[in-house]
Chain A
């Protein structure tokens, strides 16, 4: 009787322990997020107290007198991300659609493979390629075709390289989303006389809106935080963007350039920049979730 009792009690207890272990592990991710946030706030406090709200709208960056402003970094991040998305999302959409709807397997497999390759290239290689190959290319391109004196360094180049980087991610996810659209639905549309494009646009896209948006947000997230690829080509000056051809910086590039050297109020300002970046990432996630909930409700899922 005693052995039977033991057999009955222990597994239950172990199950409880196991469950708590799993719960703790899962909670760890939330703890990490909170910890990161708290740490950034803690180290950013001196800068927040010194500069206040002005930090967000000031473009002053004077290391000699220790006055800093985040506007160049924030606007640089926004501009390069916007350029990257404007270029990458439509292309990803069209390529993904083509791969799933129209291409023969003989064609779509090597192209998918090529996209996977593009996604696997580490970001520092994009930076190196950008600096050594793409920058001179941009310089020649604009000089010969438009007569514009563009050095090759700047927001436009940075945005384009970011687009190259996020394109394979967005495309891969969009491709998977399109694959999941049930053929029954598509065939019904074809049966009603739709063209390929109409099936993609009116049926597949609306069906997979959730996943497609997820893809866009993933790309957005990567673009906002990308450091190495942009660092080499953006020019690295604390300038607010006045033209696409101008040079500037992003939050991540400013952090990478200055963090190891920084002390005192500069270090604190850098942490505040990091905090702003984290809030941006968070904002993107929250917006994404809210939008997705709305779309699901529209489509009657919830």
Chain B
């Protein structure tokens, strides 16, 4: 350490502390500002009919977002079904079978790169691959685009969670003659259950607010999302984009804020649930 005078060091410490408090207040003020706006503009839109009625064009009364809610649910569920099995299996590979080798390091590197890929490129990828070749936009294509974003996240978090399971558990199971795969499933995965779930939920929270990948795959519609595989499927984020940017009509913009409020609350709750559930697991 450099030799500095006591006075200098003490005042530097005090200045930094003041700065910290200032910036912390700034950060909290910021978040309050944004949340306040969302609540302020979004709350007026919320009503029973908002949750129950489907989206309607400008000029028609009683528009809601029920179909968009359902659509987002379907699309996200689809994304989970596509991305979770390979994600967890891949995580198992990296943590159980191949901890440190050129191959596994390359896989980790690829996962890191994929996690940083802008979501719009994932949307383009699925558009060129699926939408263009099957000649239709669909909720399924949207799920695929979201799954591509979720997959590397689940891969890495699964690996991290599984790694934390102590080797003694594995060794005792193997010593008893349990085959490798059974060890992994019923011993290792089971004890990392909470962590794995957290990884999946965090990935879901990550894609819950994504718009760009759905713009080129699922588009949106005023219809109920029951032709998920073959038609543009309504969803919350693209609907918000439509209402906020494709409509100078105030009533539509209010609906956009209302939908934004719902997404905010949903993702927030998911995050809080993960944090508390995971913390509980950790403490255990």
Contacts and interface: CB of A to CB of B under 8 A. Distances in A.
A198 interface: yes
B17 A102 contact: yes
B7 to A, nearest CB: 11
Contacts of A256: 120, 212, 215
A35 B106 CA distance: 15
Contact of A118 (B17, B31, B119, B181): B31
B43 interface: no
Contacts of A132: 37, 41
Interface stretch (A68-76, A141-149, A276-284): A276-284
Contacts of A218: 116
B271 interface: yes
A59 interface: no
Contacts, number: 247
Interface string B233-263: 0000100110011000000000011001001
B17 to A, nearest CB: 7
B35 interface: yes
Interface residues of B, number: 90
Contact of B241 (A28, A221, A228): A228
B125 to A, nearest CB: 5
A4 interface: no
A173 interface: no
Given A98-B21, A122-B210, A256-B212, A195 B244 contact: no
Given A29-B111, A115-B27, A122 B260 contact: yes
Interface of A: 11-12, 14-15, 18-19, 21-23, 25-30, 32-33, 35-36, 39-40, 43, 91, 94-95, 97-99, 102-103, 111, 113-129, 131-133, 164, 167, 171, 194-198, 202, 218, 221-222, 224-228, 232, 252, 255-256, 259-260, 271, 274, 277-278, 281-282, 284-285, 288-289
30 contacts: A22-B89, A25-B86, A26-B91, A26-B94, A27-B90, A32-B110, A36-B121, A36-B122, A94-B20, A95-B24, A98-B17, A98-B24, A99-B24, A114-B31, A115-B27, A116-B272, A120-B268, A121-B35, A122-B263, A123-B210, A132-B41, A197-B13, A226-B118, A227-B119, A227-B120, A271-B124, A278-B117, A278-B121, A285-B109, A285-B116
Given A117-B31, A289-B112, 20 more contacts: A12-B179, A22-B97, A23-B97, A33-B110, A36-B121, A39-B129, A121-B34, A124-B237, A128-B240, A164-B34, A171-B27, A197-B12, A218-B116, A225-B117, A259-B124, A260-B215, A260-B216, A278-B117, A278-B121, A281-B118
